[in-house]
Amino acid sequence: MNRTYGTVGAVAVVLVAAVAAVSAGGVPLGGDGAPSGTDAPGINSTTVDHEGAHLSLEGAPNQTVAGETGLAPGTELAVRIVSDDAANAFIVSRTATVGEDGSFAATVDLSGVSDDAAAWATVVRDGAELANVSTRVAAVEGVTPTDAGSDLESGTAFDYDGDRLTLAALENETVRGETDLSPGTDVTVRLSSTSGGSPFLLQRTATVADDGTFAAEVDLVGVANGTAFEASVRHDGTAVASADGVVIGGHNEEPSTDTSDENWTRAPVTDTSPVAAENHSTTLDYDGDALTLESAGGQTVAGETDLSAGTDVTLRLESSGDASPFLKSATATVTENGRFSTAVNVTEVAAGSTFEVTVRHDGDTIALADGEVVE
């Protein structure tokens, strides 16, 4: 399970709280929180081995988290250590495979934990949390973080399988994640297309649950198969996590959809760099530090390029703040003198709103600039 982390780090996602139990001395994850009355793992029960009230680990490499489960041998589980202290936030995640005797074990590197820390050890399968146990990580003097410890991060993350987040063109697709932000905190989940013929910008507010998870439903009906997008989680105007994504399958107008495979189209997805690898000489017209547009209709965005006359370029204006999300996309054609321009209507955008404007050609960004809407 891969994750793309934000600049402040990442916490792996738990999709749904399950009804499994923690280890002996712990509390099951059932509805009333009462002990189950049995230590033997059943078909749906998973426990984490520990002595006393907490699982004790050291802030060092090669720390073992082990347990038992009633799941079938060969089942893969995610074992995660998640900080319970905002001042010393971190997460580390490893995969463990259930053995023939129902046991599992994962070796985690906690060498990046420099101070004594409270945490939770959780066991997750297919996004569902099967067990958790209170954990104490004791700092070890003189321990140097290893390369494996570099994935010890803090913050927020999306959950997805494969090399990118995949969503179908459905009206109730759910984007899920987990964060070390306090329960009850509102975060903004934003999806913005980066390629394909269906430009879109979707923004939803999600509230962090008691277990640190959040979820947002989005409507992607009509978005073409293969449309790439960037997903981000924002808090207090700052992106705290991001992930690349692609829309595949669902309800759209892609003619090559294979309905025998539940409308799941293996549309090719082109990975594009933030700025085109080719040495295009393309610039946007503006004075000062940012391109400014008035909160009115008919606002001109223009520039010049060394692309051939008659070439179409796409200009995108995407809000960079949380308060008034917007996305404007228009096509402009390069003239004989190497100029391009298009008019955009930003009447509904409040003065003071900030945005990023990009010029794209053949799926690559060939110019970009910051912008602001003024009175």
Q: Look at residue 11 and tell me if it is in a domain.
A: no
91 and 106 share a domain? yes
53 and 140 share a domain? yes
The residue range of the domain holding 217 is 158-261
> Per the structure block, which two tokens stand in for 9?
């780090």
Q: Look at residue 89 and tell me if it is in a domain.
A: yes
150 and 162 share a domain? no
| Structural domain total, the chain | 3
CA atoms within 13 A on the CB side of 79: 27
CB 250 within 8 A of CB 220: yes
Q: Which residues contact 254 (CB under 8 A, 6 or more apart)?
A: 224, 225, 226, 265, 267
Amino acid at position 57, single letter:
L
Query: Where is the domain boundary, 101, 123, 154?
Result: 154
Q: Look at residue 181 and tell me if it is in a domain.
A: yes
127 and 165 share a domain? no
The model carries a pTM of 0.45
CATH number at residue 250: 2.60.40.10
Query: Where is the domain boundary, 114, 138, 154?
Result: 154
Cα-Cα-Cα-Cα torsion 126, 127, 131, 133, nearest 10 degrees, comes to 140
Q: Look at residue 137 and tell me if it is in a domain.
A: yes
CATH number at residue 150: 2.60.40.2840
For strand 16-17 and strand 128-139, is the pairing parallel, antiparallel, or unpaired? parallel
21 and 137 share a domain? yes
Q: Look at residue 240 and tell me if it is in a domain.
A: yes
Q: Give the closest residue to 323 by CA, choosing from 231, 208, 237.
A: 237
CB 46 within 8 A of CB 20: yes
136 and 254 share a domain? no
236 and 341 share a domain? no
Per-residue pLDDT of the chain (375 residues), as tens digits, is 333 333 333 333 222 222 222 222 333 332 233 223 333 344 458 999 999 889 999 988 889 999 999 999 999 888 888 877 656 667 777 888 999 999 999 988 888 787 888 888 989 887 678 888 999 999 888 765 554 333 444 468 887 766 788 888 888 889 988 887 888 888 889 888 876 556 777 888 899 888 788 999 988 887 877 788 888 888 877 778 888 888 887 766 544 444 344 443 444 444 444 444 455 688 899 888 889 999 888 899 999 998 889 998 888 888 877 666 788 888 899 999 999 999 988 888 888 888 888 888 876 778 888 889 998
Neighbouring CB atoms inside 10 A of 359's CB total: 25
127 and 45 share a domain? yes
62 and 144 share a domain? yes
111 and 34 share a domain? yes
Query: Where is the domain boundary, 119, 154, 189?
Result: 154
